[in-house]
Amino acid sequence: MAQADVILPTQPARGLPVVRSIGLGDLRYAIAKGVEDFRAMPTHVIFLSLIYPIAGIAIWRATFGYDVVPLLYPLAAGFALIGPFAAIGLYELSRRREMGLDTSWKHAFDIVHSPSIWALAVLGLFLLAIFGVWLAVANGIYVANFGYRQPTTLTEFADMVLATPEGHRLIVVGNAVGLLFAVLAFALSVVSFPLLLDRNVGVPVAIATSIRAILKNPVTMALWGLIVALGLLLGSLPLFLGLAVVMPVLGHATWHLYRRVVEPDSSPRPEYHPQPKARRYAADFPSSLFAPLSRKQPK
């Protein structure tokens, strides 16, 4: 039987969510379920995910337009840092399909009604801040090796990186530092966003649960991070167009991985009673805008 077509609020958890041990079979399960969700919702999921290749193409044009070719690779790699935040709508669609609810594309935006919306926003801004710091550090590594010389073409930049000692040093140091940023973002968010969408637990609990999931399953989670990184890399190669398929599959799979890692909350969820909207008339404008502040909503 289908459940109510709403995001139900939950009470803050009294303790940390229980984390399970998982193995390679759970990763295969999550990926298979992610592909299944994608096949069940291909049209509107691709539509929602077009933002990734569009953003990639915009980055490409901006990079060459403003002569910042050295930042093209760090910008593309940054998708892995903010991907968990960008995939919130995909988690919601998987959640709704799991519950037997309507999975129309518009429901991807139902997260605005979640009691955890501010926690989701704070954690998302945190990942964006990490992304910004990564770009600044990547630019600093480039300047440390090549100074302020700016290549004007991709061919010139490739020659600088591949045919000079400074370029080889840039590859090693840049990728090593980038890996540290990726590990940080992964540790903070591997199950944080699905957990916040599923329960009203707050950012500290979500981050702590994410870190505990990695500590309890270091090899499995490391392999999952490698799968995500390779998937994003393959999706980015043809001018980022592959991300329109890779991102939804990984997003849906992340939701199902969360379900395997974190035990469901067995406590009852409080009932959700949306407040009816009062009818408004043009003659009441602008006073009608402030009416909810001056009178009680009907029960």
How many Cβ atoms are within 10 Å of 223's Cβ, its own excluded? Answer: 14
179 within some domain = yes
Report which DSSP code applies to 201. Answer: -
As a whole number of angstroms, the distance between CA 182 and CA 134 comes to: 9
Q: Is residue 257 part of a domain?
A: yes
| Residue 251 domain-assigned (yes or no) | yes
Is residue 277 predicted with pLDDT exceeding 60? no
Whole-number pLDDT of residue 192: 93
Task: Check residue 299 and give its pLDDT.
Answer: 45
- Total domains in the fold of the chain: 1
Confidence (pLDDT) at 14? 56
Domain presence at residue 163: yes
Reported pTM: 0.74
pLDDT at 159: 86
Residues contacting residue 181 through CB under 8 Å, at least 6 positions apart: 81, 130, 133, 134, 137
Range of the domain at 69: 24-262
Q: Tokens 């602008």: give the residue.
A: 286
Q: What are phi and psi for residue 238, nearest 5 degrees?
A: -85, 70
Answer yes or no: is 19 within a domain. Answer: no
Residue 279 has pLDDT above 70, yes or no: no
In a domain? residue 272: no
| 134 occurs within a structural domain | yes
User: What does 133-190 look like in DSSP terms, one character per residue?
Assistant: HHHHHHHHHHHHHHTT---SSHHHHHHHHHSSHHHHHHHHHHHHHHHHHHHHHHHHHT
pLDDT in tens, 51-107: 555 555 565 555 445 556 777 778 777 777 887 887 888 888 888 888 877 666 666
Q: What tens digit of pLDDT does each residue of 122-159 get?
A: 998 998 889 888 888 988 998 898 888 877 777 888 88
- Ranges assigned E (strand) in the chain: none
Residue 174 lies in a domain: yes
pLDDT tens string 205-259: 999 999 999 999 999 999 999 998 888 878 777 666 777 778 888 889 999 999 9
pLDDT for 24 equals: 94
